[in-house]
């Protein structure tokens, strides 16, 4: 099976959660009284301190959440899950984005055919989601499992499907029509479109694109100097060098021929100096350096994982995890101190495949890199895994009842 190889008002359902403020402080005064009374006061103080610590821990626990984009055609929603310290998930409500989901033409398992359609930005505390069916972008302020201050803006093009954030700048990639990117400033009051940031990708899609010819992902390099877009049908990795203010420095992208066919997902190593691109046709990953002029230098030729249709790729510390939608598996990679990428084992699997976890698509990693969450579009589930010291993944949870792939299906996942 080679899906990509052939070129052919929004009240939440829960009211609790969120941060509860700073650590409670208990104060005691020195009291010169009898020993028995002093012991009683001391015990009470310890009890209050323990209670305060417990409340603080509970408050911090509320900061742990996983967000899943339902991508429903009749009204896109964000499904929220509370995440405990062991990585287990518990439903914590859903929120309407104020837009509609979308479905690319002939999409096999992934309606948006992209990576990064739902992004959580830790610096600003914002959750950003695309509404592909209505050409809009939604932002929320995330406070633990609560989403607040919804904002809906035009995406600047047709069928938005991927978002990149770096510092105070966000870019959305529009996959429909000729394809485009549009920039936004991240401010305390929400997103503000950046005048002069719009750029065309020069593609030849309809407003609702074909899954195999639409662009795959937009990313901003860690140094903030380049905006990168993968184009599956053209087999190119296109780069817009950026000015210091985040605006593109060129009218048209620097077009680089992809080292592997059907480039899809983008990720970066921990140093930020190496860019990894997942290629769907032969399930390979190529390592590049993005140069200041927008040209790419191949640092390591395409590395095959032996699986089928690798599309999604995310980093967890020194490890990378890839979603192979063709045979519903997850591959693991490790990068050594010299920047050399290798599979974590000979068979290319980080965890055994499961008959109950079909249609592997998008992946999210927690900030501490301890847990990986994988969307299963056909099963309508999200599996959570603990990252082991050798890079293998141990399943710790499964969330069920999410929109399964049919006319459309969920796509987009983020973790905090």
Residue 41 falls inside a structural domain: yes
Q: Which residues contact 22 (CB under 8 A, 6 or more apart)?
A: none
What tokens were used for 173? 């990639």
Q: Check which CATH number belongs to the domain holding 139 and give it.
A: 2.130.10.10
Residue 11 falls inside a structural domain: no
pLDDT of residue 62: 53
178 and 108 assigned to the same domain = yes
Residue 303 falls inside a structural domain: yes
What does pTM read for this prediction? 0.86
192 and 256 assigned to the same domain = yes
Residue 409 falls inside a structural domain: yes
Going from the C-alpha of 380 to that of each of 68, 83, 400, the distances in angstroms are 11, 18, 6
| 235/238 Cα distance (integer angstroms) | 10
275 and 136 assigned to the same domain = yes
Structural domain boundaries, residue 43: 34-63
Residue 23 falls inside a structural domain: no
349 and 266 assigned to the same domain = yes
Residue 26 falls inside a structural domain: no
C-beta atoms surrounding 308 within 10 Å: 19
| 93/147 Cα distance (integer angstroms) | 10
Q: Is the pLDDT at 302 greater than 80, yes or no?
A: yes
pLDDT tens digit sequence for 121-167: 999 999 999 999 999 999 999 999 999 999 999 999 999 999 999 99
276 and 303 assigned to the same domain = yes
pLDDT tens digit sequence for 285-297: 999 999 999 999 9
Q: Is the pLDDT at 54 greater than 50, yes or no?
A: no
pLDDT tens digit sequence for 380-405: 999 999 999 999 999 999 999 999 99
Chain position carrying tokens 């593109």: 248
Number of domains the chain contains: 2
What would the mean pLDDT of 335-358 be, rounded to a whole number?
Answer: 94
41 and 80 assigned to the same domain = no
Dihedral over Cα of 280, 284, 287, 291: its sign:
negative
Instruction: Give 324-355 as a 3 state SS string.
Output: ECCCCEEEEEEECCCCCEEECCCCCCCCCCCC
93 and 41 assigned to the same domain = no
Q: What share of the chain has pLDDT > 90, as a percent?
A: 83
44 and 77 assigned to the same domain = no
Q: Measure the N-to-C terminal CA separation of the chain; round to a whole number of Å.
A: 34
Residue 18 falls inside a structural domain: no
360 and 222 assigned to the same domain = yes
81 and 50 assigned to the same domain = no
Q: How many CA atoms lie less than 13 Å away from 270 in the CB half-sphere?
A: 16
164 and 91 assigned to the same domain = yes
| 123/179 Cα distance (integer angstroms) | 28
129 and 156 assigned to the same domain = yes
């Amino acid at each position: 099976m080679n899906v990509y190889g052939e070129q052919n008002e929004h009240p939440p359902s829960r009211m609790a959660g969120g941060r509860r403020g700073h650590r409670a402080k208990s104060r005691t005064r020195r009291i010169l009284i009898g020993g028995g009374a002093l012991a009683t006061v001391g015990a009470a103080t310890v009890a209050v301190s323990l209670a305060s610590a417990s409340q603080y821990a509970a408050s911090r626990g509320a900061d742990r959440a996983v967000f899943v984009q339902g991508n429903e055609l009749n009204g896109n929603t964000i499904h929220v899950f509370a995440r405990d310290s062991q990585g287990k998930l518990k439903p914590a409500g859903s929120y309407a984005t104020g837009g509609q989901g979308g479905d690319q033409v002939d999409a096999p398992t992934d309606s948006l055919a992209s990576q990064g359609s739902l992004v959580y930005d830790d610096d600003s505390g914002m959750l950003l989601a695309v509404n592909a069916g209505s050409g809009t972008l939604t932002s929320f302020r995330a406070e633990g499992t609560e989403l607040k201050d919804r904002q809906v803006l035009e995406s600047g093009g047709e069928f938005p499907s991927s978002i990149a954030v770096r510092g105070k700048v966000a870019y959305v990639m529009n996959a429909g029509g000729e394809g485009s990117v549009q920039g936004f400033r991240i401010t305390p009051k929400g997103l503000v479109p950046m005048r002069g940031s719009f750029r065309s990708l020069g593609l030849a899609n309809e407003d609702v694109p074909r899954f195999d010819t639409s662009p795959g992902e937009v990313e901003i390099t860690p140094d903030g100097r380049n905006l990168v877009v993968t184009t599956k049908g053209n087999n190119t990795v296109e780069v817009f060098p950026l000015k210091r203010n985040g605006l593109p420095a060129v009218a048209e992208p620097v077009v680089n021929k992809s080292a592997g066919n059907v480039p899809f997902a983008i990720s970066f190593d921990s140093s930020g100096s190496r860019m990894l691109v997942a290629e769907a046709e032969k399930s390979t990953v190529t390592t590049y350096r993005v140069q200041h002029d927008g040209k790419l230098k191949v640092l390591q030729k395409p590395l095959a994982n032996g699986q089928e249709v690798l599309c999604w790729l995310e980093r967890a510390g020194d490890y990378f995890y890839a979603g192979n939608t063709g045979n519903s598996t997850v591959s693991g990679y490790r990068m050594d101190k010299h920047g050399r990428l290798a599979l974590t084992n000979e068979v290319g699997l980080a965890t055994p495949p499961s008959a109950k976890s079909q249609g592997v698509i998008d992946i999210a990693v927690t900030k501490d890199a301890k847990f990986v969450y994988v969307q299963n579009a056909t099963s309508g589930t999200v599996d959570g895994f603990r990252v082991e010291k050798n890079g293998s993944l141990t399943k710790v949870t499964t969330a069920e009842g999410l929109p399964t792939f049919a006319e459309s299906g969920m796509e987009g996942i983020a973790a905090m």
